A and B are shown apart, each in its own frame.
Chain A
């Protein structure tokens, strides 16, 4: 007789045969994301003199269906950085929860900054450059295990020397930085516009906040005109050394669809 605790209350093997625990095993292959399901489209961001502007619309699409129209795809981190997500929304939610845990871990050690003059950078808190490194290692590890998080992520904030920081990481762990960045359709439609104003770091360092915000808003309008999976409601975040200002209820204004009439295949054609 087996007297060990794990046998208590179980039918006896010698009478009933070994316990069939097969139902506890998941049969079939291990599953991993093979393609994104509910997706967000472009995220765009532009550096300026003393910070970074980032924007993304509030739409989550299910294929060609505009499924959720109030989805917030820009997430502030520790009120020093902003993370913008394109791609799969459920993976974004997973990452968002993960970042929440990370922020709480930070609070254990650092949130108790006693003097109000101390900035997060000097208090040794995770800055945007650290966060981007962390996320890129996470994304690369997941691609190595063939279980990618199907996102392209932009991280905006400041680096350890307190200069504006903007970088990207995608589902394969590829990372890069640039004065302006755009994911998805934004890479084709918004990036040329932003590069016209800020081709180099030096150009970007001359832009004022208002100029940068205006350029990004203009880009969001172009994206709405041309990207079929986009929305005229969007979020815009401005990261400066003072913190993060995030507005999630922006509406595209002064739309003019007059140009569409001249383009064959764009809307109703009369000829």
Chain B
């Protein structure tokens, strides 16, 4: 059927298939997450505990904690996001499940987008809970929603895309748990910097060029989504 169709039609068809598969995968991943509740019972408590540990490490001086709050918040999210990525990839963890899915003929770009979208939803929930956590524990208040909202959403998208892409790069479940952090953390360092700066602006700190950091976050999210769409297929194919 391919030959007589125009190339444009084929592109449109591919995009439609990709989004349909993405939706299918996102729905499946979120259903599994709602059933297993790994996020709620394991990843979320880990993130909250990290906030307490940071406070223990720094001491209970309110001023110090308030200054450090945006950075500590993002450190907690960053570490939790690695757990979330591992969990997301474990859904196709066993060789049998991977093979079963390969036999279904899903579009790999769609699988990537679906998994990244499901993980982004989970991360956003985590971010909201941890945000309430830092507001309560570190006495920060939101000065500008205009900065807080994009400073939460953009890194969530970027970390999810990078997490799923590098997770599939890191191979099977046995090596992934130790390999993924060293592969993905250097890459995500810019996100930590940019997100902390944007969020501290959102908390009312005087941050020069906070808008520029939002642009960095947007670029990161777009670059990794595009790379994932392009590279996830070749990576999963063997």
Q: Do A and B come from one complex?
A: no
List residues of chain A with CB under 8 Å of any chain B CB.
none
List residues of chain B with CB under 8 Å of any chain A CB.
none
